[in-house]
Amino acid sequence: MVNKLFFCFFISFVLVACDSSSPKQSYTPQVVTRDAIGYYCNMIVEDHSGPKGQIILTNKEKAIWFTSIRDAIAFSMLPDEPKNIASFFVTAMDEAEWEHPEAQVDNWIKAQSAWFVINSAQRGGMGQMEAIPFKHKQSANSFISKHGGEILSYTEIPENYILENTH
């Protein structure tokens, strides 16, 4: 009986030690360079003002870049786009300069933890309505006092605001 118990323990140990599943990879925001091209518009990301987005897929090392947050969120919603999103980062506009919020890696936060202002008077870098991300809800409230709009979490953003509203 002891031998059987020892054998079962030994086999379990060997199977756990041989587990080939790789540890979860930690994804961090990438730095925007002149080589960063917007996924949908094929334009240089740095050439556009306003908040930006980057999505990293599980099977890619380089980020997919977006010149607007709406484009990045649309990518995550559209059925024909890849669904193996490892990380989704947006530029937090709390203390960022509107012209180049992507300039500092510290300005990038996970989209799922951001507060977004929609329906404000402030337009995105492409001149369209934007979902403007903030790290802190208080910063979003301050923004609303100047530009109007409403605050939503990532999961509360209406699909029609992203996919249908272009002006």
Amino acid at 68: S
Structure tokens at 134: 């903030």
Q: What distance lies between CA 140 and its chain's CA centroid?
A: 18
Total residues found in the chain within this entry? 167
Where do we find the tokens 């559209």? 78
Distance CA 57, CA 62 (A): 8
The pTM of this model reads 0.83
Distance CA 73, CA 107 (A): 18
Tens-binned pLDDT, residue by residue, of the chain (167 aa)? 545 544 444 444 434 444 444 445 779 999 999 999 999 999 999 999 999 999 999 999 999 999 999 999 999 999 999 999 999 999 999 988 898 888 777 899 999 999 999 999 999 887 899 999 999 999 999 999 999 999 999 999 999 999 986 55
Distance CA 86, CA 106 (A): 19
